[in-house]
Amino acid sequence: MRTGQTVREWEEGLRELHTRIGRRFKRAEPRARAYRYIQGLLSNMPRKNGWQLAEASGEHGPDGMQRLLNRAVWDVDGVRDEVQAYVAEHLGMPTGVLVVDETGFLKKGKHSVGVKRQYSGTAGGIENCQIGVFLAYASERGYALVDRALYLPKDWVEDQTRRQETHIPEAVGFATKPQLARMLLERALAAGIPHQWVTGDCIYGDDWRLRTWLERQRQWYVVGVTRDHLLYYDGARQRYDDIAATLPPQAWQQLSCGSGSKGERLYEWALVPWRNVDYPDDELHAFLVRRHPTDPTEEAYFRVFAPAGTPLQTLVQVAGRRWTIEECFELGKGEVGLDDYEVRHWLAWYRHITLGMLALAFLAVMRYETNSRLTKKGHTPASQHSSL
């Protein structure tokens, strides 16, 4: 429950954040409307589309909010850069983790940019939706989304009429989800976001090009791979699940990969390293297996690239950080209207999503700072899985 002091601190913090992004707006009107837009995203309104955001800010219709997303002059990528700097400043730690994943945005019709019937893990099947690839930052202080890319299916890329109707830039071509993830990671590296690890699920871990690029950058990773992923091990190319089946009982340790809403996430883990004459002595190349403690047939697999001598518990903790981006999606859609937009154009999608990321980052920073004050005063801080 927020006290009067906490509310004042949050209001001051939001004004400071708005001042921080202010230089990305050329005119006072869109700058002020962006502040009201973010206030609306942070409000407790159940829906946060143009009409609701306009009404909450005292406007008579959604035209002003739509103009902010579609036609007003402001630098959306510059605001993205401010989000990254803000998160790095407040939540950054040398042991931080960059997390890549995608999420679906269910949509009706066929006119919104990038929408089509395609697989969405969010929906658990094939639905009419848009897919966004995201990068999150996670540390012991908290986690937030720091970058985004809209996935364009090939038929959208090749359809000049739809490209023109939705204002897709000419330079934008087809890119796979792992290619989009690499683009986001390249920007994070260029921005100097403090981190030690990269993680993601098997969509990204199965892509050898992405793994090879990470290794060339000396970016340590623990990334998911599918069970039929092949590895040259013990003199033959074998599937991961076949290798896991041969591991002796003493190879397994029960460890927590982090706390969740229901307590510690306990699994059994086994690490299988391998050597290659081309590998430097200071590198660990291995695969990691996770299985459910009460159902050994329920397994998950990870490729590991890490400093030599990295403890198993550290690798397990990195693997567990992948869940933080799923929690970002849940909080983003549930708390700040990340999926409540009603826009069709390329730029408008990026603008709404970026302002939603900023609102989500603000919540993460305020939660961390409020909890830090509570801890100093000897109080029990709020759970990271709940909003204040």
Alpha helices in the chain (DSSP H): 4-21, 28-42, 50-56, 63-70, 76-91, 154-157, 160-165, 177-191, 202-205, 208-216, 240-245, 312-320, 322-335, 346-376
What is the rounded distance in angstroms from the CA atom of residue 369 to the CA atom of residue 192?
Answer: 22
In this structure, is residue 89 part of a structural domain?
Answer: no
In a domain, 7, yes or no: no
Q: Please check whether residue 64 lies inside any domain of the structure.
A: no
Would strands 97-106 and 197-200 be described as parallel, antiparallel, or unpaired?
Answer: parallel
Question: How far is the C-alpha of 89 from the C-alpha of 245, rounded, in Å?
Answer: 45
| CA–CA distance, 24 with 198 (Å, rounded to integer) | 29
Please state the rounded mean pLDDT for residues 359-368. 96
Whether residue 162 lies inside any domain: the answer is: no
**255 is a domain residue:** yes
Given pLDDT bands bounded at 50, 70 and 90, which one contains residue 382?
low
Residue with the larger pLDDT of the pair 71 and 376: 71
Q: Could you count the other beta carbons within 10 Å of the beta carbon of residue 88? A: 20
Query: Does residue 352 lie in a domain region?
Result: no
What is the β-pairing status of strands 97-106 and 125-139?
antiparallel
Stronger pLDDT, 128 or 375, i.e. the higher one: 128
The total domain count for the chain is 1
Q: Is residue 316 part of a domain?
A: yes
- pLDDT score of 341 more than 50: yes
Q: How confident is the model at residue 378 (pLDDT cuts 50, 70, 90)?
A: low
> pLDDT at position 258, please?
85
| Structure confidence at residue 386 (pLDDT) | 40
Smallest CA-to-CA distance from 185 within 225, 137, 222, 120 is with 137
Let me know if residue 68 belongs to a domain: no
Q: Is 171 exposed, middle or buried (0-12, 13-18, 19+ CB in 10 A)?
A: exposed
Domain extent for 285: 200-325
Q: In residues, how long is the chain? A: 388
